[in-house]
Amino acid sequence: MSIHEDARKMKLVAPYLAASASEARDRALSLIGVSLSAHAKDIYTANNIDMAKAEDAGISSSVLKRLKFDEHKLASVLDGLRMLRDLPDPLGHITLHRQLDEGLVLTRLTCPIGVIGVIFEARPDAMIQIASLCIKSGNCAILKGGKETTHTNEVVFNLIKDAAKEAGLPEGCLLQATSHSEIDELLECHEDVDLIIPRGSNAFVRYIMDHTKIPVMGHSDGICHIFVDESADQDMALKIIADAKTQYTAACNAVETLLIHRNIAKEFLPKLYKHLSDNGVTLKGDFQTRGIIPVEAIGKEGCIEYLDLIASVKVVDDINEAIDHINRFGSHHTDSIITSDSESVRVFNQLVDSAGVYHNCSTRFSDGFRYGFGAEVGISTSKIHARGPVGLEGLLTYKYTLEGSGQIVGDYADGKKSFNFKDLD
């Protein structure tokens, strides 16, 4: 069957999954855990095939680490499933309850978005996390994982699908896309798919955003900044910058540009240069920076996302120049100020237009697990719908129900009746 036909069918299944009992969705999560444990060996065997192919293809050891599915990862996935299962049902929460007039009552309730397409990197644990977030939130999902985990994903997906069925969830509520060409087909299904969540490289996410009419939740660039204010605890700044740059270079929340207050540049830049050199980081500087420390010039393309042990350094006149730079050249992801001045914190928090605005801590905290969301489907730099790390809440919308007893608008338009708004408990 084609993705088009599958998505069309799934759209009709979606309301039934949305109406499923909380107990059935939670039971599916329990059964997935049981099934993954019981079939651990099958998963490892499939994963070994993927690993061997990846090694043959000369894939780097850091990527291999992500492909690997072992007991350690299984244990962490099982923890995640339990944690998610034990969260309260996110569906059917009343967020507005209002009498419009005597006997005419408006209620706004949370409900699932419907049909979500998620395209994610080659990580077997990602498949499990994403599928379980979709089940808990009552969303149908079309899942497409990275091709390097084809064998592992096939085994894992079938276990998940069977568990969902056994728990009594409607058949056809989860679907796996397996070939790369199916991505383009998925992007065409704007009549049936409500949301696409792409994870992966900038270029890939941008491709998705440019080739579909379906709303896309995610981020392409992650150009995060740290501004070292004149009153900063400089040792703290060094420690935070090294963490934000080196702890996981390939992450979207790693820092890329360092903005240094002019009044401390002469004192701080040499310390920064030494500390980051010791940590294997190469700096590139603007004109003023290069007057103080011996670094290369920032390239013509400006302060970009390096995703590597490289950072741009720029000297700024004051906090306002720092904020303007961040708002203009940043990607509205996560930006941090290091300062001891509470007024600077207030101004920075108010004026920096980013999903995460931090004070005296590393940009690397921008993550659904670290925010205590249990899991995340991704991080959004959009200001529409969810922003920042996206957990269950970002997979919900709402509907309005209006309960009447024969009311018509004509009576209100003619002045025979008038509205009598009253918020109810």
Which residues in 291-330 contact a copy of itself (CB under 8 A)? Answer: 323-324, 327-328
Count the Cβ atoms, other than its own, within 10 Å of residue 342.
Answer: 10
The Cα–Cα gap between 333 and 207 comes to 19
Q: Which is nearer to a copy of itself, 310 or 357 (CB)?
A: 357
- Are 190 and 88 in contact by the 8 Å Cβ rule? The answer is no
Angle, helix 71-86 to helix 22-38, in steps of 10 degrees: 170
Footprint of a copy of itself on 27-66 (CB under 8 A): none
Phi then psi for 259, rounded to 5 degrees?
-110, 125
**Among the candidate windows 143-151, 155-163, 256-264, 408-416, which touches a copy of itself by CB under 8 A?**
408-416
Output DSSP code: residue 393: G
Phi then psi for 39, rounded to 5 degrees?
-110, 25
The 273-292 contact track toward a copy of itself, x by CB under 8 A, reads: --------------------
Q: Which is nearer to a copy of itself, 159 or 323 (CB)?
A: 323
* 210 contacts a copy of itself (rule: CB under 8 A): yes
* 410 contacts a copy of itself (rule: CB under 8 A): yes
The 225-244 contact track toward a copy of itself, x by CB under 8 A, reads: --------x--x--xx-xxx
The Cα–Cα gap between 212 and 78 comes to 35
Residue 329 structure tokens: 């050249």
* 215 contacts a copy of itself (rule: CB under 8 A): yes
**Which one, of 139, 148, 120, 127, lies nearest residue 50 by Cα?**
148
The Cα–Cα gap between 139 and 132 comes to 10
Closest distance of CB 236 from a copy of itself, Å = 4
Closest distance of CB 53 from a copy of itself, Å = 29
Indicate which single residue of 76, 270, 404, 424 sits in contact with a copy of itself (rule: CB under 8 A): 404
* 352 contacts a copy of itself (rule: CB under 8 A): yes
Footprint of a copy of itself on 9-28 (CB under 8 A): 11-12, 14-16, 18-19
Indicate which single residue of 5, 79, 297, 419 sits in contact with a copy of itself (rule: CB under 8 A): 419
The Cα–Cα gap between 246 and 250 comes to 9
Indicate which single residue of 31, 46, 81, 113 sits in contact with a copy of itself (rule: CB under 8 A): 113
**CB-based contacts of 76: which residues, under 8 Å, 6+ apart?**
125
Q: Which is nearer to a copy of itself, 49 or 424 (CB)?
A: 424
Footprint of a copy of itself on 354-393 (CB under 8 A): 354-362, 364-366, 370-372, 382-385, 387-388
Element (H, E) at 26: helix 22-38
Closest distance of CB 332 from a copy of itself, Å = 9
Residue 399 structure tokens: 């509907």
